[in-house]
Amino acid sequence: MPALVFPYSYHRGRSLPIIPVGIKGQKDQWWKVNAYLDSGAFYSIFDDSVADLLGLSLTTGTRMLAVVGDGDSLPFYLHKVSLQVGKNRFLMNIGFSSRLKVGFNILGLDLFDRYKITFDNRRHHVILKSH
């Protein structure tokens, strides 16, 4: 399978590894959202507005806590959803939180289990190659 190459996106004046992904909601409707590839995040966590978009009841998921950079705890709720990266579709656990206030959704290490990910900061793109 050929590698997927995504150009970085600009967020608050910085070029960052934010990529478009598809996420499946109710009635088989797919939505495009952007997410930051974060090798330091144990979980993928999206804003609760994405859960609303998908028709998910936020708190019906498994409640979890993530420790963030300042040592604070971020509560989130895990839901198994269909995700699409490039043309590849698969089920993945995504957390949703009403307290994710960084300005973007986060794709964590669970995505890194599926892909070898290379950040090319010099060329401002990220390369994903299936394992």
**Per-residue confidence (pLDDT) for residue 112, from 0 to 100:** 93
- Nearest partner of 35 among 60, 53, 55, 18, judged by Cα: 18
pLDDT band for 131, please (50, 70, 90 cuts).
Answer: confident
Cβ neighbours, 10 Å, residue 95 = 26
pTM of the model: 0.93
Q: Any idea where the domains of the chain sit in the sequence?
A: 4-130
Banded model confidence at residue 59, pLDDT cuts 50, 70, 90: very high
pLDDT in tens, 69-126: 777 899 999 999 999 999 999 999 999 999 998 899 999 999 999 999 999 999 999 9
Mean pLDDT of the chain: 95
Pick the CATH number of 4-130 from 2.60.40.1230, 2.40.70.10, 3.40.640.10, 1.10.3720.10: 2.40.70.10
Q: Report the pLDDT value the prediction gives residue 57, as an integer from 0 to 100.
A: 94
Residue 94 confidence (pLDDT): 97
Nearest to 33 by CA among 100, 104, 88, 87: 104
CB 30 within 8 A of CB 81: no
Q: Residue 1 pLDDT more than 90?
A: no
Residue 27 has pLDDT above 80, yes or no: yes
Enter the tokens of residue 9.
């996106």
